[in-house]
Amino acid sequence: MQQFLIWLWRLAPPVLLLILAAGMLWFPQQLSDLVGSISPGCTFRRLTGLECPGCGGTRALRALISGEVWTALRYNPFIIAALPILLTEYIRSWRMFFRPADAHSPRSRAYCLLLHLFAAATILWAIGRNFV
C-alpha cells in the first residue's frame, strides 16, 4: 500500500499538468474561472501596497488559457517570459524525483548563467515596476 501511495504521489504533478493542458483545449473559460476562484490574491501587495514580480500573474494566466496572448503580456510580461524557465525547472525536478541518480548530474554553465540572469531580472522587474 505504501509503494502505491509513493507511486501515486510521483505521478500527481504530471497528471495535473495534463489535466490543465486538456482543460485549456476543451474548457478554456471554465478553467480560467477556476484559476480565478482559487487564487488567494497577492499577500505582498496587500501588506506593502507595492507590486511583487508576480502581480498580475493570475490574470495573465487566465488570459493565456483563453488564448489572449497580448492581454496576458499586458498583465505581466515577466511571468509569460518566465514560463519556459519555470517549466524547465519543474520538469528537471520531477525527473530527479523519479531518478535520484540524476540529482547529482551537473548543470551546464550556460544553464546556470541563465538561472542567475533570471534571478537578477526578477529583482530588476520588482524594482522597476514599482518605481518607474
Tell me the C-alpha distance between 97 and 89, whole Å. Answer: 12
Q: Is the pLDDT of residue 104 over 70?
A: no
- Domain boundaries in the chain? 2-131
Q: pTM for this one?
A: 0.59
How far is residue 65's CA from residue 25's CA, in Å, rounded to a whole number?
A: 8
pLDDT of residue 71: 92
Average pLDDT, the chain: 77
Mean pLDDT of the 81-93 span: 79
Q: Which helix (H) or strand (E) segment is 104 a member of?
A: none
Residue range 21-74, pLDDT digits in tens: 676 666 666 766 776 677 777 778 888 888 888 888 888 888 887 788 899 899
Residue 100 predicted with pLDDT over 70: no
